[in-house]
Amino acid sequence: MRSRHSAIASFFSECCAWKGNFLGIHIVALLSITIDKITFYRMF
């Protein structure tokens, strides 16, 4: 029972970490896109 619980806990922690990385990647992508747009509009 304990090993099963630890397996479930590790699965949830991995899922949360994956979601965090996914959100971080999306935030970085959005920031880079907005920075590109700002520099693009500043040129014109």
Per-residue pLDDT of the chain in tens (44 residues, 90 and over written 9): 567 778 888 888 888 888 888 888 898 999 999 999 988 888 77
pTM of the model as a whole: 0.51
One-letter amino acid at 43 equals: M
Looking at the domain assignment, is residue 44 inside a domain? yes
* Angle, CA 24 vertex, CA 19 and CA 29 arms, to 5°: 125
Length of the chain: 44
Looking at the domain assignment, is residue 4 inside a domain? no
* Per-residue pLDDT at 30: 93
Looking at the domain assignment, is residue 26 inside a domain? yes
Domain extent, residue 30, equals: 20-44
User: Hey, is 44 helix, strand or coil?
Assistant: coil
Looking at the domain assignment, is residue 33 inside a domain? yes
Looking at the domain assignment, is residue 43 inside a domain? yes
Looking at the domain assignment, is residue 32 inside a domain? yes
Query: How many domains, the chain?
Result: 1
